Amino acid sequence: MSAATIRTPVKASAGEGRIGPRANLRHIGALARRNLLQIKQDPESMFDAVMMPIIFILLFTYVFGGNIAGKGHEREYVTYLVPGLMAMMGMNIAMAVGTGVNDDFKKGVMDRFRTMPIARSSVLIAKIVVEVGRMLIATTILLVMGFILGLTISTSVLHLLAAVALAMVFGASLMWIFILLGLTLKTAQAVQGVAMIVLMPLQFGSSIFAPTTKMPGWLEAFTDYNPLSNLADASRNLINGGPVAHSVWITLAWAAAITLVTAPVAISKFRNKTN
């Protein structure tokens, strides 16, 4: 992509602080298009978004479903599992943002952006926009597989869409954490290693795969504060019916807190690295 693609007026190029909202949106759109073109040139980069939901739902339904819901009741387990996997998809897709940012620095892509009169934040926001799109694709595939395996919606399509939107909002907030890791750690492999250390306890120490009532007391207490449990419970109640207000507000509060804390730090670190 040439600098002309995302050029701002001369008045705006004097400093990032003078770039207006409209110019910033144009920059985000142009950079998002660049990221989409990269995916088009490298379709294998969509492998995780396409295959991960298929593998996970088949694996957990037929390996754990009979033990958790009882043999012959795998279809009931699918209805429990899919809303939880929606929360899990967000974390796994979010991890790719951190490795992508780290890889862009290694390839010198950020050196090109350094010479352009663009807001530094637009580079990161464009990545999040594209990754939210990948997350939406993964969630759609997950739901299609869920319906094939017996998922039922006890509420309405609007409630289902609300559950998807909630997962997108929370997933987008997590991306700032992984962006910060990508800007801080030296290699993409290090980003993946640290991310897995964080992901595994949060995913399996939650209500994503099984009810928490039979867990040890200390672990059940941990799940009560685990944001993935709140997201899984909110999505599950939106789809299957049940009280949603508490879990939804807690999830939104987590998303807002994560974004407010990590986004400014990530943008500041990105500016320092590209100055």
CA–centroid distance for 12 within its chain: 32
* Range 165-176 average pLDDT: 93
At 62 the pLDDT is 85
* pLDDT score of 271 more than 90: no
Quote the pLDDT of residue 73.
64
pLDDT of residue 6: 45
For residue 125, the model assigns a pLDDT of: 87
Higher pLDDT, 50 or 48: 50
For the chain, percent of residues with pLDDT exceeding 70: 87
Asked whether 272 and 180 are in contact (CB, 8 A), the reply is no
CA-CA distances (angstroms) from residue 26 to 11, 133, 168, 245?
Answer: 16, 18, 23, 36
- Give the distance from CA 151 to its chain's centroid: 23
Mean pLDDT computed over 112-129: 77
Residue 117 pLDDT grade (very low, low, confident, very high; cuts 50, 70, 90)? low
Q: What mean pLDDT is predicted for residues 107-127?
A: 74
CB 63 within 8 A of CB 74: no
- SS3 label, residue 46: helix
**Mean pLDDT over each residue of the chain, to the nearest integer:** 83
Confidence of residue 234 (pLDDT cuts 50, 70, 90): very high
CA distance 174 to 84: 16
Which residue's structure tokens are 């899990």? 88
Nearest residue to 24 via CA among 122, 140, 169, 166: 122
More confident residue, 210 or 108: 210
For residues 227-256, give the mean pLDDT. Answer: 92
pLDDT at 50 over 80: yes
Q: What is the pLDDT of residue 256?
A: 96
Choose the most confident range, by mean pLDDT, from 43-57, 60-74, 110-124.
Answer: 43-57
**Maximum Cα–Cα distance for the chain, whole Å?**
68
Alpha helical stretches, state H, 108-204: 109-114, 120-149, 157-184, 188-204
Per-residue pLDDT at 212 exceeds 70: yes
Q: Are 228 and 91 in contact (CB under 8 A)?
A: yes
pLDDT-derived band at 32, boundaries 50, 70, 90? confident
The Cα 212–Cα 132 span in angstroms is 29
> pLDDT at residue 15 above 60?
no
Q: Identify which of 176, 37, 189, 46 has the alpha carbon closest to the alpha carbon of residue 109.
A: 37
Residue 147: the pLDDT is: 94
